[in-house]
Structure 1
Amino acid sequence: MNRRHCASAAITLVCALSVLITPVPAFAAPTPPSETPKKTLEEVREEIDDLYRKAGAATDAYNLAEERAEKQSGEIVKLARAIVVGQAKIADLKNRAGAQAREQYRTGGLPPGAQFMLSDDPQLFLDGVSRVREGQQAAKGVLGELTRAQQDLETYTKDANTNWKKLEAGRIKQAKAKKKIDAQIAAAKKLESRLKKEERARLLKLEQEAAYKQQTAWLSSGALKDINRSASKRGKAAVAFATAQIGKPYVWGAEGPDSYDCSGLTSQAWAAAGRPIPRTSQEQWRLLPRIAIKDMRPGDLIIYHDDASHVGMYIGDGAIVHSPRPGRNVTLAGAGSMRILGVVRPDK
């Protein structure tokens, strides 16, 4: 027993020694995670500007869907009224046709005129022929009118269903656009919220410097040299309305009177001048007459960016009035301070 205890103790000691003397694998010290390089304020400005520009494009999609929804709602109301009138007309025609059928039943299946035709009196016979013809024409007219009324009612109903489908599709587009707008604006605001007070002030200065740089380049190109035309009567009224809104905040989807988005401002200005125009900057670019920059005059609309997602109103002397973006107010700016896509004239 003592030997076994001694052997066991010896084995335990050998194992312990072997653990102690076995080399321990070497592990490299953990490398600290590389820090993400901090963005410069200029990079932040460009990122915020890009987010707001995307929000502007989504705002145009939202406004267009809203405009079409209003139009389709109006069409549905008109069709509903037409359906009610059509149903009343069909009911009246059916009553008239039923009255004719009941009259025939009371006279043994023959209209009064046909009974006169069976008379031996020549004059009564001739009168009967005339009345039969009149009765046949009247019955034919009622049935023809009833058929047309029923066809019209079917068309109205079909058109109403089509408009309902378009309306629902438009609402889905609106919801998607709104979600995208909210996301872009929230992301931009989040970036801005991380900046210190002095950084936000510097950010605004960088925006102004970038706009000034583009405006200077545009003026240096000689773009303003030939622009000396006077505004039309309606153009003056549109400019007066738009400039009177200076200082009011940008709110996407807004058409006044307390706030505006970019195309809300221009569309309302021209509506006030007596010339309704499309609601969105993209539709303004698509549908309004285009003119050369050199032929520009106050009241004309300058469309910006490749996707026509922004619009301002030219007021003369190389300046525009516009509603820039969320967090900014309606203001004056250089006409060339953003990339110009083209110019349209609402009252051409």
Structure 2
Amino acid sequence: MGTGKRGLLAAAVAVVCAITVLGAPGAAFAAPGPTPSPTAGATTPPLPSTASDKDLEAVRTKLEALYHDAAVATDAYNAAEEAAKKQSAEIVELARKIVAGQAKLDDLKNRAGAAARAQYRTGGLPDEAQLMLSDDPSEFLDGAGRVRQGERATKGLIGELSRTQQDLVQYSKDASAQWKKLEAGRKTKAAAQKRIEKQISAAEKLRSQLEKEEKERLEQLEAKVAQEAQTAWLGTGVLDEIKSAASVQGKQAVQFATAQIGKPYVWGAEGPKAFDCSGLTSEAWRSAGRPIPRTSQEQWKQLPHIAIEDMRPGDLIIYFDDASHVALYVGDGSIVHAPRPGRTVTLAGAGSMPILGVVRPDA
């Protein structure tokens, strides 16, 4: 193996090793996702010693903002993770092409060298001179034909060698570009992770200021707000319009999602022991044989939109104006979803949160 080939092979192996590190949990990166909302800052004022209903409503609103901001950052983190997997795979493929291309280039150089040595042995004389010096003109003419064929083959060989060299240069440029994306994405993902942890920490600190009785009242308040939203949604008569039956794959997705009830929410998780909101929906549909985008925002962007009245079990309901939350509709006005940190996968009312729209993975 020549020194050039060994160098490229070493570089390719180094690329693959680096990708292995970047592909490890907590170390895969990609392009920036949506900027988290600045309205949900992590600074929280201390509560009075005895929280009134008004105080608890303020806490509920603040917690909702903090968790929403964490959800937006989680979507950015997950998008970075998915893009990094794709970029890493592309770099690995480019490294493979570089190694194979270098081997091909070495072979072409050897063949070109052999052709040059053969021409040198003939003395490089013109055909006319070789004809005059030949003892058997007919044999020479036959040989001259073969020489011309060889010349054409040599030209083709040189052309292929040049193209292979150009391919190697392009592969190297492409690999370098992908590597730069991964490096730039590292900072983006780290920032998203920091934002998530900051917002969750602020929410936990805020809750920790409450007494046991106040926490219970807060939970009752949260349940009341959700129930009022669900009642208002059902009051529109929307459920009377929803009559579509689930598809075969939709039933499979529902079965998977409902089987995860009780498992904890963990941001960035996609099973099997924990899930975030889009981790649950993407895994539910993957189990049904229909891979879908990993994040709620990409699910909203890429999957076919369905009118709410045409909704059927298995469809995905996207929530909030920024598509920062997603749940799987299971029928009878209910969803199964992974709500937020500190909660578990659970059933809830489909109208308990502001609905952005509905998408169908198997449309």
Relative to the length of structure 1, the TM-score reads 0.87
The offset of 1:40, in angstroms, is 0.8
Pairs within 5 Å for 1:103-252:
103-110=118-125, 115=130, 119=134, 121-252=136-267
The offset of 1:130, in angstroms, is 1.1
The offset of 1:101, in angstroms, is 1.4
Q: Which residue of the other structure, out of 272, 281, 288, is the alignment partner of 2:303? A: 288
Aligned mates of 2:349, 2:180 — CA distance in 1: 44
Aligned mates of 1:242, 1:67 — CA distance in 2: 21
Partner residue, 2:315: 300
Please say if residues 47 and 209 of structure 2, whose CA atoms lie closer than 8 Å, have aligned partners that are also in contact: no
The offset of 1:121, in angstroms, is 3.6
Pairs within 5 Å for 1:10-89:
40-89=55-104
The one-letter amino acid of 1:78's match is E
Output one character per residue of 1:8-55: Cα deviation in whole Å (capped at 9) or x when no partner.
Answer: xxxxxxxxxxxxxxxxxxxxxxxxxxx997761011011001100000
Aligned mates of 1:299, 1:254 — CA distance in 2: 21
Aligned mates of 2:194, 2:128 — CA distance in 1: 73
Partner residue, 2:27: none
SS at match of 2:326: strand
Partner residue, 2:14: none
Please say if residues 93 and 146 of structure 1, whose CA atoms lie closer than 8 Å, have aligned partners that are also in contact: yes
Larger of the two Rg values belongs to structure:
1
Please say if residues 301 and 343 of structure 1, whose CA atoms lie closer than 8 Å, have aligned partners that are also in contact: yes
SS at match of 1:40: helix
1:317 aligns with 2:332: yes
The offset of 1:158, in angstroms, is 1.0
Partner residue, 2:351: 336
The one-letter amino acid of 2:201's match is A
Please say if residues 113 and 131 of structure 1, whose CA atoms lie closer than 8 Å, have aligned partners that are also in contact: no
The offset of 1:118, in angstroms, is 5.2
SS at match of 1:263: helix
Distance 1:78 1:117, change over 3 A: farther
Please say if residues 299 and 313 of structure 1, whose CA atoms lie closer than 8 Å, have aligned partners that are also in contact: yes
The offset of 1:194, in angstroms, is 0.5
The offset of 1:324, in angstroms, is 0.2
Partner residue, 1:15: none
Aligned mates of 1:136, 1:93 — CA distance in 2: 15
Distance 1:36 1:201, change over 3 A: closer
The one-letter amino acid of 2:270's match is E
Q: For structure 1, which runs of at least 5 residues remain unmatched after alignment? A: 1-34
Identity over aligned residues, as a percent?
68
1:90 aligns with 2:105: yes
The one-letter amino acid of 2:97's match is A
Output one character per residue of 1:217-251: Cα deviation in whole Å (capped at 9) or x when no partner.
Answer: 00001111110111100000000000000000000
SS at match of 1:313: strand
Output one character per residue of 1:68-88: Cα deviation in whole Å (capped at 9) or x when no partner.
Answer: 001100000000000000011
Aligned mates of 1:234, 1:162 — CA distance in 2: 39
Aligned mates of 1:116, 1:190 — CA distance in 2: 98
SS at match of 2:183: helix
Aligned mates of 2:129, 2:215 — CA distance in 1: 97
